[in-house]
Amino acid sequence: MKTALNIFLLFVINLIYPQDDKINDSTIVWNENSPLSWNDFKIKKNDIVKNGLQYGAGVSSSVKVDFKYNTKNNSYEYIINAVTYPYSSVSIVKYEDDYSLQHEQLHFDIVKLFAIKMEEEYKKYDNINDYRIVYDSIIDELDRTQALYDKETAHSILVFNQKIWEFKIHKALQKYGYYEEKVDANKCKGFQKGKYRYEFENDTAFIERKDSIQYVTYKQSGMKLKQKIKWLSDCTYLVYHTDYIFTPKYTNKFSDEKILVKVIKIENNVYKIERISDKYNEIHLLKVIKL
């Protein structure tokens, strides 16, 4: 992931800005309805090695600001976009899967969030020097955020952290009308208490939940847990601080385990969820039945 400085001072009175998502053959503007595809990574390699580590992809994107000077009122006008550069974006063909693409898409989503922040800051000023100072400040913060994202997710390897970042960035973009929840929040609220059943790892789990506390009993193994819940939104929550009421022999205990749960679909009394534990580096799709 790299961020480039792209300020173009266009002193043209009647400049017409293209409305298509592709400004030209080498630049693509961020659009929620047109996410990245592997075709947008024009540099294909067999290996990407940096500092002794192998990477699967690297999207090149930035905040791009187009200026023009209005001679009638002696002021600058601008258009700010989050853009990606396909001919600077790299991928290893054998690692081109949906999950890796989601990681790169979130890099692009982060750029979009900072493009919005930049536009909000620009509204406070009307001087080209101030615009440059704001740009540099926002880009520095963007670069730090991108670096932290890669560090905390280990470039997408840590699935739990990857999903936490997705939730955080999409939640921030929801304030501006993007990435709206696909599940009815009011229906999700019905998931915050009650009794449930689901199948997991060849066992049947029974849940009794009330807001921030739930008890889980596994039918076959007999294991019983008391868990705390932190609701991140109406449809997403963290399960953590597991207390083992009863643990069968040869069962691994994760007293500090965290589980991210997201409701992705509701059909009558069946809740389809995405479940990710920070102890197991994989995503489980489960059907939870309300009893």
Percentage of the chain beyond pLDDT 70 is 88
The pLDDT of residue 25: 57
Give the CB-side neighbour count of residue 148, counting CA atoms within 13 A: 10
What letter would DSSP give residue 251? -
89 has pLDDT over 80: yes
Beta strand ranges found along 87-150 (DSSP E): 90-92
What mean pLDDT comes out for the span 214-219? Answer: 94
With beta carbons less than 8 A apart as the criterion, state whether 180 and 116 touch: no
Q: How confident is the model at residue 83 (pLDDT cuts 50, 70, 90)?
A: very high
The pLDDT of residue 50: 59
The pLDDT of residue 71: 79
Q: How confident is the model at residue 30 (pLDDT cuts 50, 70, 90)?
A: very high
271 has pLDDT over 90: yes
**Of residues 59 and 10, more confidently modeled:** 59
What mean pLDDT comes out for the span 69-82? Answer: 85
The pLDDT of residue 93: 85
The pLDDT of residue 248: 86
**Of residues 52 and 59, more confidently modeled:** 59
- In angstroms, the CA 105 to CA 124 distance is 30
Q: What are the residues facing 49 on neighbouring strands?
A: 54
Lowest mean pLDDT among 8-22, 171-185, 205-219: 8-22
Structure tokens that stand for 91 in this block: 């991928």
